[in-house]
Amino acid sequence: MAFRFAVNVTPKAGILDPQGRAVEQSLPHLGVTGVSGVRVGRRVELTVEAATEAAARVVVERLAGELLSNPLIEAYAVELFGATSSTSTAEAPA
């Protein structure tokens, strides 16, 4: 089975987020008001080949914690968005 996951990595609360600040500061130039709390993180999508969803999640959790995020300053959330029995559909549908 092939499972398609997304790992959402965001700066932890209280951690300075320069990209988010940059977005906020550009909003007045676009004439946009009423937007606040902008936080910029990463989203990593990947396909894991495994016998069960639980086994696939073990792989994703390990990658998310060790490779895709910096646990000191970032939090991550794992999201499953598809399972297929074929191994040929490594790309998620757009």
The distance from CA 21 to its chain's CA centroid, rounded to whole angstroms, is: 20
- Least Å distance, CB 47 to a second copy, is 4
Q: How many residues does the chain have?
A: 94
64: contact with a second copy by CB under 8 A: no
Q: Which of 37, 54, 72, 85 binds a second copy (CB under 8 A)?
A: 37
For the four alpha carbons of 64, 66, 70 and 72, in that order, the dihedral sign comes to positive
Quote the CA–CA distance of 9 and 68 in Å, as a whole number: 8
Q: Where on the chain is the footprint of a second copy (CB under 8 A)?
A: 4, 6, 8-10, 12-13, 20, 23, 26-27, 30, 32, 34-50, 59, 62-63, 66-68, 75, 90-92, 94
